[in-house]
């Protein structure tokens, strides 16, 4: 019986502006293999991509960092948790690795980080894989809009946000919108909760939650960037995401009419349920954009 290869992956820390950024990197057989920068979402980290790395890592160079406030990355005391600063650290990380051209995988929080990076260095972006990463007002559910509207001075706002950091809240993000939750391994949300419960992590996530509205102000700029730059784009979307529902995926087609759109009957963490369908699409896209 012939078995498919499994990726050889390294796990390291890299210092970027005093932040010890943890990352995973596959070591493909080809030294000139296409590069895919994997930008994770909330409340997860690079471990959310471990199965994708196992499948595609033998053929492509997949690199997945943990943002400050997530996973195994260690930020110094006094670090400012904002999406601008997450982008600063990601930009420094890319520079330290010497990445000059890559496809960016934008998921959830990874979308506002990735779009900031794309604006700063459009020459580095060979293409975009966008999976439940929003850049349009219509891509926000009513619940998401209410959540984003919360301000520190709003009575009960902090408690509402902190309720999302509980084990029940974390598990719910994985299972809501999934027809058969039993297909989702508990490892992801259990590990997410472990990191959320580390000292200072909930305060970091609270700051990012209150800063999320800064992304909405940038939506018109990101949409203009897409129209002007017309990057190749693959849209793979969990259509029943309770935060970023299907209209957010279709909205990209206004600015990127040639983008390839695939909708899956699942929730937010679509890779957890549809890796077998999504991995070949991503591989084909990497091959087509590696020119």
**Which residues span the domain enclosing 103?**
9-289
- What is the CATH classification number for the domain harbouring 211? 3.40.50.1820
Residues annotated catalytic, as ranges: 268
Cα-based distances in Å from 120 to 29, 93, 109, 142: 31, 14, 18, 31
Label residue 5 by pLDDT band (50, 70, 90): confident
Q: Is 198 inside a domain boundary?
A: yes
Q: Is 124 inside a domain boundary?
A: yes
% of the chain exceeding 90 in pLDDT: 96
Over residues 232-240, the mean pLDDT reads 98
Rounded to the nearest 10°, the torsion over CA 47, 144, 135, 92 is: -40
- Phi–psi pair at 236, nearest 5 degrees: -120, 120
Position 134 pLDDT exceeds 80: yes
Q: Is 1 inside a domain boundary?
A: no
Q: Is 196 inside a domain boundary?
A: yes
Would you say 105 and 37 are in contact if contact means Cβ atoms under 8 Å apart? yes
Average pLDDT, the chain: 96
Q: Are strands 19-26 and 9-16 parallel, antiparallel or unpaired?
A: antiparallel
- Which helix or strand (DSSP H or E) is residue 104 part of? strand 102-107
Q: Please report the pLDDT score of residue 124 as a whole number.
A: 97
Q: Is 3 inside a domain boundary?
A: no
Token look-up 């000139």 returns 32
Over residues 159-186, the mean pLDDT reads 96
DSSP 8-state code for residue 21: E
Residue 41 CA to residue 216 CA, distance in Å, equals 17
Label residue 61 by pLDDT band (50, 70, 90): very high
> Of 241, 211, 243, nearest to 144 (Cα)?
243
Q: Compute the Cα dihedral for 56, 62, 224, 240 and give only its sign.
A: positive
Label residue 123 by pLDDT band (50, 70, 90): very high
Per-residue model confidence as pLDDT tens digits over 256-277: 999 999 999 999 999 999 999 9
Q: Please report the pLDDT score of residue 290 as a whole number.
A: 76
Q: Is 26 inside a domain boundary?
A: yes
Q: Is 2 inside a domain boundary?
A: no
Per-residue model confidence as pLDDT tens digits over 22-41: 999 999 988 899 999 999 99
Exposure b/e, 198-208, CB count within 10 A at least 16 = b: eeebbebbbbb
Q: Which residues contact 150 (CB under 8 A, 6 or more apart)?
A: 157, 160, 161, 209, 210
Please tell me the total count of domains within the chain. 1
Label residue 13 by pLDDT band (50, 70, 90): very high
Least trusted range by pLDDT, from 6-10, 165-169, 283-287: 6-10
Position 291 pLDDT exceeds 70: no
């Amino acid at each position: 019986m012939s078995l498919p290869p499994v990726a050889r992956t390294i796990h390291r820390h890299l210092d970027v502006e005093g932040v010890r950024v943890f990352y995973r990197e596959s070591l493909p057989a080809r030294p000139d293999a296409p590069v895919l920068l994997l930008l994770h979402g909330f409340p997860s980290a690079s471990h959310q991509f471990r199965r994708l790395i196992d499948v595609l890592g033998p053929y492509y160079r997949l690199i997945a960092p943990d943002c400050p406030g997530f996973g195994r990355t260690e930020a110094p005391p006094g670090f400012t948790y904002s999406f601008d600063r997450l982008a600063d650290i990601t930009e420094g990380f890319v520079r330290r690795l010497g990445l000059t051209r890559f496809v960016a995988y934008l998921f959830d929080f990874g979308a506002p980080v990735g779009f900031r990076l794309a604006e700063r260095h459009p020459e580095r972006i060979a293409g975009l894989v966008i999976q439940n990463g929003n850049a349009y007002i219509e891509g926000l559910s009513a619940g998401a809009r209410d959540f984003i509207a919360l301000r520190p001075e709003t009575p009960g706002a902090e408690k509402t946000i902190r309720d999302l950091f509980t084990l029940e809240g974390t598990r719910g993000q994985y299972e809501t919108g999934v027809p058969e939750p039993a297909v989702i391994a508990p490892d992801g949300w259990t590990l997410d909760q472990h990191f959320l419960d580390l000292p200072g992590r909930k305060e970091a996530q609270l700051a990012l939650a209150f800063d999320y509205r800064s992304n909405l102000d940038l939506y018109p700029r990101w949409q203009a960037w897409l129209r002007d730059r017309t990057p190749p784009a693959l849209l793979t979307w969990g259509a029943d995401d309770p935060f970023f529902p299907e209209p957010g995926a279709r909205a990209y087609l206004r600015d990127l009419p040639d983008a390839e759109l695939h909708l899956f009957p699942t929730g937010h963490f679509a890779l957890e349920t549809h890796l077998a369908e999504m991995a070949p699409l991503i591989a084909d896209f990497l091959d087509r954009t590696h020119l």
